[in-house]
Amino acid sequence: MSRVNLNFAVAADSNLRLGVTSMTVTGLYRNNNSATFPYNLNNSLSIIGASAGASYYYYLYDWEILTQNGQCPSAQVPVNINIQQVATPSITDVTICEGQSATLTATGGLNISWYDSSNQLVGTGATFTTPILNSSSTYSYAAVNTENGCESASVSANVVVEACANVPELVSFTNSLDISPNPTTGAFTISYSAAGKNEINVKIIDLQGKLISQRKSTSNQGLNEIMMNLDKSDKGIYIVSIEFKGHSFTRRVVKQ
């Protein structure tokens, strides 16, 4: 018995023939009266006959074949690929005074990645507080699916920085803005000065971007106070966002 390594690459086809074109030795074994065709090899190859007739089987026994992946394949099994769309969160642009920082809050997404104008990752979570800004800046953000790493479409968030020194009322408001007590065990007061009647909107947001409470009020000339409460909230850091005369002012309050 001898083994011959053919290393033939054979494309899928039919009526192919394997044989020899010249013989320099004799005595190769054959069957001449007991062949029973077809001979099937692992559902990959079928030997259907011999050129000398149906009862003959010539020379070539103990076949070894490899499929393209190097193994004999099993029956095919379907694999389902589910394509998930990650919802794009929403946000509104923020206008702040020069020398302030802004807190951006995205809604509608669970896991948010924040990027600066150079596409560098600068934060994660539903809220992101910028560094102190002296010029308008653009940030982008996307929601991330933690199961497969897919990101939603990227959306821009603009922080418009204005020179509030030209608006005396905004300067007075910024200088007078105070939160007390801070830290607090629950209740605290936001105080500020205003030159007259203006709408003011106060939001308390946790670090995951959840709105804890909101209060709208109308300011009067002089010192104003707004009472807020975190009695039913867990201990931690909260963001106080104050919207006044088209500008956003951000402070942090700590509940102990």
**What does the pLDDT look like over 84-121, one tens digit per residue?**
666 666 677 778 888 888 888 776 655 788 888 888 88
Which amino acid, one-letter code, is at 74? S
- What is the mean predicted confidence (pLDDT) over 229-254? 86
Task: Label residue 247 by pLDDT band (50, 70, 90).
Answer: confident
Task: Label residue 53 by pLDDT band (50, 70, 90).
Answer: confident
Please state the domain extents for the chain: 1-79, 84-162, 164-256
The pLDDT assigned to 70 comes to 60
* Distance, CA of 93 to CA of 115 (rounded, Å): 15
Closest CA to 173 of 230, 244, 116: 244
69 pLDDT more than 70 = no
Report which secondary-structure segment, H or E, holds 114.
Answer: strand 112-115
pLDDT tens for residues 151-186?
Answer: 777 788 888 887 776 777 888 888 888 888 988 898
**DSSP-H helix ranges across the chain:** 168-176
Contacts of 228 (CB under 8 A, 6+ apart): 187, 188, 189, 190, 202, 204, 213, 215, 240
Question: What are residue 236's phi and psi, to 5 degrees?
Answer: 150, -170
Judge contact between 188 and 254, C-beta under 8 A.
Answer: no
Residue matched to tokens 């990650």: 86
- What is the mean predicted confidence (pLDDT) over 1-29? 82
Average pLDDT in the chain: 82
215 pLDDT more than 60 = yes
Residue 207 DSSP class: T
The pLDDT assigned to 211 comes to 81
Which amino acid, one-letter code, is at 219? S
Tell me yes or no: is domain 164-256 CATH 3.40.640.10. no
What percentage of the chain has pLDDT greater than the value 70? 89
Report which secondary-structure segment, H or E, holds 171.
Answer: helix 168-176
Task: Label residue 66 by pLDDT band (50, 70, 90).
Answer: confident
The pLDDT assigned to 52 comes to 84
137 pLDDT more than 70 = yes
Contacts of 192 (CB under 8 A, 6+ apart): 173, 176, 177, 178, 200, 219, 223, 224, 242, 244
75 pLDDT more than 80 = no
Report which secondary-structure segment, H or E, holds 229.
Answer: strand 222-229
Contacts of 44 (CB under 8 A, 6+ apart): 65, 67, 72, 73
CATH topology of domain 84-162: Immunoglobulin-like (2.60.40)
The pLDDT assigned to 149 comes to 65
49 pLDDT more than 80 = yes
Residue 43 DSSP class: T
What is the Cα 4 distance to its own chain's centre? 54
The pLDDT assigned to 28 comes to 79
**In the Cβ-directed half-sphere of 159, how many Cα atoms lie within 13 Å?**
29
Within this chain, domains 84-162 and 164-256 share the same CATH topology: yes
* Residue 116, number of CB atoms within 10 A of its CB: 15
Tokens of 38: 């077809």
Closest CA to 46 of 7, 6, 15, 3: 15
- What is the mean predicted confidence (pLDDT) over 206-220? 83
Residue matched to tokens 């942090």: 252
The pLDDT assigned to 21 comes to 77
